[in-house]
Structure 1
């Protein structure tokens, strides 16, 4: 199955957004950090991507965030970011990394921290563990363990796939984790849009970037963390205003679980994006961005 780069339906809009790239040293590794939007913007968001992703997956949302300044780091071990040399790539390791990253890129503590999917667990854990952003935004938050969700049979098969990859010699195991047929099965399971062009582009994006992890160890650690933890574990200990951006058709993070999650936070509101699923960042970025922009404006006021 060939990896084909298809034109992004959001390419023109993304191209109009200024971007600055820097490298930030955090916990023994160098993290590529992209800052989108006008320098000196009134509001800033630090946005964590999901499992197997990198900055590309968040660009459709960023392109619709207008005047906001959006800082998108790549999680260690994904995209162009090297793994952490001394930490496991689990929730505790990534939460510690996130706290130090925030201190480096937002020393004044004025930013809103955001996370998509796996990034939602990391962001919630970072705040519960002591990070103090001005507010928290969780997009397609993992409200309950994937092992208990409606796709639990598929999740268990995916767990077996990763266990096999761990048992094989490293080269063969890494090949299995990057297998494009497995990537396509996962992609088809998540897509909800009926737009054929958009579906083809999403599959092509997954073909291009799902294999962009540094090595088998960091991918396996991250995957097992993603299916073993959820946002609900950390909700009660999040002391800042929180926005949950759920998707109506999300089978990985179902709406009912999102509604049960909201009251577990001391201060949270829930917005449901209609007609889309777990890939809301690809299928409905305008609606996701609108919810984020409204919340950021109300949560941060005029201060920065």
Structure 2
């Protein structure tokens, strides 16, 4: 069994497939869009490909590490989104799609101009909005892309409950509202509902990841803004304006965007390739990192005109 993944808080449950203890990222900071962004650099400085990886809602850079560990030889730059993990909120900004898009463009231009852009889940919306708005990149990779409006998916009712949950967290007295948003039981329910694997070791890993990192948001205002952004926008808004080759890595059991919607999304892009991963839901990065990494490696190795409708 792989050695435990160790953090400042102590050893963690190991991933049963990819050993995360082999990762040795360098932590750095960059002034971008008026704020300070914390980010981590993995892989060799002289790598042929550099990828800037944008995590999902309520997450931070640790969430993408299983995929990173399966991509040796690629330089990956993984920031914490403003207001999450170790990156403070952007001063004086509502954390809407314009703020996140502006931030990502400034961050990439400051740390790795011309890098490939990767976005997971909410990060897929941010990445798509930024590229459509002018962020220069040779290729775009979207994992578990939010390909359709959240309220139209198979869990529309659950989305409405989530809207009420985040509304209540923002309206209650600050201490009580923040406690509700960080409630461990609710976080575990979210984790259980997203995990599809029957592997008990992998489920333990997923739940510990969410227990450890899912509540590392700066404050309830940022969380509310980001949630509203996540359910108010989707990748299909930006797809027609993205001309670069795009890879969509989608799951056949994703409750947030069903696979039929991902297939429609692929046809909206001028140049997109869809890879469907079986027997997984919205947690491809945790449950199927090797399959995701294989799709990414193949995409990066293909000629620039190798995308298909």
Q: Which residue number in structure 1 is paired with residue 5 of structure 2? A: none
Instruction: Give the Cα separation in 2 of the matches to 1:89 and 1:299.
Output: 36
Q: 2:241 maps to which residue? A: 237
1:81-92 equivalence runs, <5 A: 81-92=87-98
Give the Cα–Cα distance (whole angstroms) in 2 for the partners of residues 4 and 39 of structure 1: 29
1:168 is aligned to 2:172: yes
Q: Hey, what's the Cα distance between the residues in 1 that align with 2:303 and 2:24? A: 25
* More deviation, 17-26/194-203: 17-26
TM-score calculated relative to the size of structure 1: 0.94
Q: State the 1:293 CA deviation.
A: 1.0
> Using the alignment, how far apart are the partners of 2:252 and 2:260 within structure 1?
9
Q: Note if 1:122 corresponds to 2:121.
A: no
Q: Shift of the alpha carbon at 1:274? A: 1.1
In 2, distance between residues paired with 1:60 and 1:75? 18
1:252 counterpart = 2:268: no
Which structure 2 segments of 5+ residues have no match?
Answer: 1-8
Show the counterpart of 2:80.
74
Q: 2:298 aligns with which of 286, 294, 301?
A: 294
Specify the alignment match of 2:26 in structure 1: 20
Task: Give the match's secondary structure for 1:174.
Answer: helix
Structure 1 residues without counterparts, runs of 5 or longer: none
After TM superposition, the score normalised by the length of structure 2 is 0.93
Q: What is the SS of the residue equivalent to 2:302?
A: helix
Following superposition, the deviation at residue 86 of structure 1 comes to 2.2
Whether 2:133 is the aligned partner of 1:140: answer no
**How far does the alpha carbon of each residue in 1:197-245 deviate from its partner, in whole angstroms, 9 at most, with x for none?**
1112211111111110000110000001111110000000112110000
| Superposition map of 1:154-233 within 5 A | 154-233=158-237
1:50 matches 2:56 = yes
User: How far is the alpha carbon of 1:300 from its aligned partner?
Assistant: 5.7
* Conserved 8 A contact 2:147-2:261: yes
1:287 positional shift:
0.4
1:104 aligned partner: 110
Superposition CA RMSD, Å = 1.7
Number of residue pairs matched by the alignment: 297
| 1:36 equivalent in alignment to 2:42 | yes
Asked which structure has the greater RCO (Cα within 8 Å, sep 6+), the reply is 1
Match of 2:41, SS? strand
Partner of 1:269: 273
For 1:164 and 1:185, how far apart are their aligned partners in 2?
18
Q: Which moved more, 1:199-208 or 1:9-18?
A: 9-18
Contact 1:147-1:228 at 8 Å conserved across structures: no
- Whether the 8 Å contact between 1:238 and 1:265 is mirrored in structure 2 is yes
TM-superposed CA distance for 1:5, in Å, is 6.3
Q: Which residue of 1 aligns with 2:117?
A: 113
Asked whether the equivalents of residues 18 and 70 of structure 2 are also in contact (C-alpha less than 8 Å), the reply is no
**Structure 2: distance between partners of 1:162 and 1:87:** 19
Inter-partner Cα distance in structure 2 for 1:143 and 1:97: 22
